[in-house]
Structure 1
Amino acid sequence: MTTNEDAFMTTALMTAKETDGTREPGPAEERQDDDAWLTECAAPGRHWFGLSGTLQALETLLTIARWAALAWTAQAVLDRAVAQETWGLVAFAVASVPAVGAGWTAGTLAERGARAVARGLRQRLTGALLPTAGRISETGPAEAAWAMVDLTDDVADFHAQTVPLRRSAPLSMLAVLAVTAAVHWPAAIVLVLTTALLPLNMRLAGLFAQHGADLQSSATRHLNAVVLDSFRGMRTLRELGAVGRRGRTLTSAAEQLNKATMSVLRRAFLSGMIMDIVITFSIAVNATYIGLSLLGYVRVPHAPRLDLFTGLLVLLVCPMYFAPMRARASAFHQRERARAAADAIRGIVEDTPAEVIRAARPQLTEPVGVSLTAVRFRYGGADHDTIGADAEFAPGTWTAITGTSGSGKSTLLSLIAGLRRPSAGAVRWQTSSVRQEPALGGCAWVGQQTVLLDATVRDNIRLGRPDATETQIRRAVDAAGLSAVLEGLPEGLNTRLGEGGWGVSTGEARRIAIARAFLRGARLWLLDEPTAHLDADSEREVVEALRRATDGCTVVVATHSFPLAAAADTVLVIDDGLLHDAKPANAR
């Protein structure tokens, strides 16, 4: 195809998209959409922010009264009017107390609003990051922690600064301008003329901040990932003798973040310096004019007489006129940082389906069968299905799913559990009287990595059912074959395990996980490589424990282990993403 034909086809496609309404949003539209989402995040704290803005405006009015009292006192001192001096000092003290109180209360309310915004974002992130949210894509631990801890605060701090300012800034500036114009209008004209120079500087500040915030965000994300991966893989790094090399990688990532941060600071300093020059120029012009007028060198036609009270009051309130502008300029830098944070949070939150089956205590008292009907699953961005399955798992049976590493066994289990939603087709749980979609929390899950908390054995088992009685815990211990293990522990069930399960072997930790699952009372068990990394004896003990604990339950197990597959009633094989028909285990 020639260049002209290419151009013609491109134009035709763009026109067709615009005609049928499917035109892709441009950068400006995407930015507006991001701004709208960022604004929406302020909703939980909007009430507090509104009160804070009102009090900020009140603080400005009280501060004007305060400076007026001070200027009045200075004029009284010059005129040697003792009585007016006293009343001026009293008025200054009376205005100072509520002014300070209003400022402190405004800051407190803004902080409360920021906490409300951060809490709301963290609740949304928690719902999106937990497996029960039914997300299709995965978020790395480093990015999740970064979003939960840092990014929410970036958004909350931005709103705490800017939302009250939107209410208070116009009122405060108008009040200062009105007072200045009332006492000496030429000074007010200088303020108005100088104001016209500020929007351009604020726009430049925003452009500077945008690029710097993107660089800093990228460097922070990279450093978080390097730190987390380094700690998680420290044992492996030590065994490979790669700790020093990893340390250099960590240093490099930290230096990149340092450079990005310094770049942001330089940009902020430059734009702040320009802002300060404009403000200083305005105040200097007014100060020079007032000084020359008081000395009698300058007189503006039709301007009111300038005395010490008028001149001093104008000089005291002029900086107050520019304070909201200075705060808005500072907010431009924070806005770009908040926009980048909101974009990352939004990417996590909006990847969660709008409707999710709510988690519930297991209510099914019969063994649960599983039906997979034309199920297809594809990860976001992939060009092919990871899983394609049509199968029936009969109630009360053991089904083993085998296949090479990465073939999709764990993904299939997550679809059965309801942790993910299929891209096509349907997954159903069924008993003799019920047929339903997977209910989150309604099945028991035992994985190849057992999560044990820094707590007692009892507390780790009771994670499956916090309100379990001692009798129920003992029954779970017996079902998982933990009795002999507990006898070897110094305090039995009250033995405290170290973080990550320090104090018990891998096989013993696996049996604690089985006891925990048994305690839930679920009639559907999903096992993801439950005997991985175990020696032959430990594997045999875990298989026996599973057989006891799942008596009468439906079990679907993903495994590479031949002994575990041989214990199943049926074996399914995933090959090239497709789940093959069932065949007897003894036929293997």
Structure 2
Amino acid sequence: MTTNEMYETYGASDAGAVGKGQDNDAWLTACAAPGRHWLRLSGVLRTLETLFTITRWGALAWTAQAVMDRARAHERWGLVAIAVTGVLVVGVGWTAGTLAERGARAVATGLRQQLTGALLPTAGRISETGPAEAAWAMVDLADDVADFHAQTVPLNRSAPLSMTAVLAVTAAVHWPAAIVLVLTTALLPLNMRLAGLFAQHGADRQSAATRHLNAVVLDSFRGMRTLRELGAVGRRSRTLATAAEQLNKATMSVLRRAFLSGMVMDVVITFSIAVNATYIGLSLLGYVQVPHAPRLDLFTGLLVLLVCPMYFAPMRARASAFHRRERAVIAAATIRDIVKDTPAEVARAAAPQLTEPVGVSLTAVRFRYGGADHDTIHADAEFPPGTWTVITGASGSGKSTLLSLIAGLRRPSAGSVRWQTSSERQAPALGGCAWVGQQTVLLDATVRDNIRLGRPGAAEQQIRQAVDAAGLSAVIEDLPEGLNTRLGEGGWGVSTGEARRIAIARAFLRGARLWLLDEPTAHLDADSEREVVEALRRATDGCTVVIATHSFTLAAAADTVLAIDDGVLHDARPVNAR
């Protein structure tokens, strides 16, 4: 089931809180779809585990009666039955747990696939998700939902059958004990409901504290250099400690609530077992005799005492599931908010046009961020195939947003963006263009591996061609191990200009004929900027290039310069012919 299918099936959130809660509950239920088969099998096996356990306790009670009666043959057969059923209980229980884990992994994987499609750039997704919330959803919340389903789906299948089996066995051997179980059961649903309501507020506080701590930690790491330069590391550490303490308090509050509700349930269950134990003990001693009740002996009394706790085990598990459910509902609501506006179908990556440049057409394009009261972009323009176009403008004027619209990373609120060749005209396709951004992302890997990101299956000769096109040959020769030199995370080991040329080599390796460059020479000195521009000229020969920049050097190298002012793209003015 795709994200949109789930969303369309269960509808958008109602205006009221009740409707929204029902939608979240329905969406939470639908999340179990990828692992429901394994989880239901686990529930069937949990029921078999209960039946085998009842049989084992029956064998134990029978053996005890045989010892009392000095029936040696019965003793031997009883011990054999205990051993066989014990092996069956362990085997079925282990298999049920394995299937539940497999189902949980399938649920978590399904959610992470949806989150990946929503968090990575996709055609049609307009809303933005902060990195802290994205990491929290991907790492923690998917597991919260998966763990909840791994517990509740098998339980929903096994609990009614298991409790019925225990009650039936108890009623068959001594019906007064079964009546005590039934009467006690009536007290538990109310306690379980109160437990869930009691835990909800605490779970909300814990969720908010977790989100806040994630944001503080992420921002602290990202801004560590700035914090150090400003001498604000100490203040930031106190902020981090405060956020951690808030999460600790919220977590302890949830644990206290869970402990209190669990204690109330334990009192009810212990009372029921104690009543049955007292009754059976007095009956065996001859002090109590219920009219028309069957006679109690060691076998029936011991069997009732052994299976009574099994009757309440599913209720204990369901009480625990109440607390998991509150976490899962919060997690599902957060994940749903991230994925709900992701389109059902994302434009597939276009095959690189190796022989033909790609032109770009913007027709009455408008773009507005969610919640904004005005358009960010107003654009009508044509970028002919095989040309260099520079877009200039003040910071925040919309240059990067315009490039993302051309790349297909965002969908325009109105109008259309089209890529065109001599043979076809199509909407932007993810992966069909080369992108070089302001920040060069280099992995903690070799230079070869960083370049090969552009085409993972590239041959050595193709990598060498990309190195030559980006003007990296001399740089590679000066590195200790050439292409096998390992770069630190973020590009440690090469200069900023060299890192940009590695990004250019990576883009060249893609083979795309449309290049989108966002401030490719930012923060470079004059010599480094000149080297990067020369590398771009070589790598983009015959390609269509659109550049957002403040650089006069790049503007001078362009065929056309466009100016963007408060999101409005002005008419092109010719600069020079390359």
Aligned to 1:486: 476
Q: How does 1:455-466 map to 2 (within 5 A)?
A: 455-466=445-456
* Residue type of the alignment partner of 1:69: A
Contact 1:57/1:168, CA 8 A, preserved across alignment: yes
Distance 2:105 2:205 in 1: 27
SS class of match (2:453): helix
Aligned to 1:263: 253
* Residue type of the alignment partner of 1:252: T
String of CA shifts for 1:342-391, please: whole Å, max 9, x gaps: 11111111121222111233136222111100101111111111111111
* Residue type of the alignment partner of 1:46: R
Question: 1:157 Cα deviation (Å)?
Answer: 0.8
Q: How does 1:43-62 map to 2 (within 5 A)?
A: 43-62=33-52
Distance 1:361 1:87 in 2: 72
Contact 2:112/2:142, CA 8 A, preserved across alignment: yes
Contact 2:391/2:561, CA 8 A, preserved across alignment: yes
Aligned to 1:500: 490
String of CA shifts for 1:275-309, please: whole Å, max 9, x gaps: 10110011011111111111211111111111111
Q: How does 1:112-261 map to 2 (within 5 A)?
A: 112-132=102-122, 134-261=124-251
- Among 374, 381, 390, the alignment partner of 1:391 is 381
Distance 1:128 1:586 in 2: 41
Q: How does 1:380-459 map to 2 (within 5 A)?
A: 380-459=370-449
Question: Aligned residues, how many?
Answer: 567
- Among 312, 328, 341, the alignment partner of 1:338 is 328
Question: 1:476 Cα deviation (Å)?
Answer: 1.6
Contact 2:360/2:385, CA 8 A, preserved across alignment: yes
Contact 2:350/2:429, CA 8 A, preserved across alignment: yes
Question: 1:197 Cα deviation (Å)?
Answer: 0.4
Distance 1:206 1:403 in 2: 55
**Percent identity (aligned):** 88
- Among 542, 545, 556, the alignment partner of 1:552 is 542
SS class of match (2:409): coil
Contact 2:13/2:20, CA 8 A, preserved across alignment: no
Provide the alpha-carbon RMSD of the alignment: 1.7
Contact 1:155/1:342, CA 8 A, preserved across alignment: yes
* Residue type of the alignment partner of 1:409: K
Contact 2:13/2:23, CA 8 A, preserved across alignment: no
Distance 2:12 2:126 in 1: 24
SS class of match (1:464): coil
- Among 546, 556, 568, the alignment partner of 1:566 is 556
Question: 1:575 Cα deviation (Å)?
Answer: 1.0
* Residue type of the alignment partner of 1:167: R
* Residue type of the alignment partner of 1:485: V
Question: 1:331 Cα deviation (Å)?
Answer: 0.2
Change (3 A) 1:188 1:33: same
Contact 1:444/1:520, CA 8 A, preserved across alignment: yes
Aligned to 2:351: 361
Distance 2:447 2:90 in 1: 55
Aligned to 1:379: 369
Question: 1:32 Cα deviation (Å)?
Answer: 1.3
Q: TM-score, normalised by structure 1?
A: 0.94
Contact 1:127/1:133, CA 8 A, preserved across alignment: no
String of CA shifts for 1:203-250, please: whole Å, max 9, x gaps: 011111211111111111111111111112212211111111111111
Aligned to 1:281: 271
Q: How does 1:88-103 map to 2 (within 5 A)?
A: 88-103=78-93
Question: 1:78 Cα deviation (Å)?
Answer: 2.2
Question: 1:173 Cα deviation (Å)?
Answer: 0.3
* Residue type of the alignment partner of 1:152: A
Aligned to 2:8: none
Distance 2:282 2:168 in 1: 23
Contact 1:132/1:359, CA 8 A, preserved across alignment: no
Question: 1:84 Cα deviation (Å)?
Answer: 2.3
Q: Which runs of 5+ in 2 are unaligned?
A: 1-10
Contact 1:373/1:390, CA 8 A, preserved across alignment: yes
* Residue type of the alignment partner of 1:182: A
Aligned to 1:18: none
Distance 1:525 1:342 in 2: 38
* Residue type of the alignment partner of 1:176: V
Question: 1:158 Cα deviation (Å)?
Answer: 0.6
* Residue type of the alignment partner of 1:509: A
Distance 2:49 2:565 in 1: 71
Distance 2:12 2:422 in 1: 47
Question: 1:44 Cα deviation (Å)?
Answer: 1.1
Question: 1:441 Cα deviation (Å)?
Answer: 0.9
Question: 1:491 Cα deviation (Å)?
Answer: 1.9
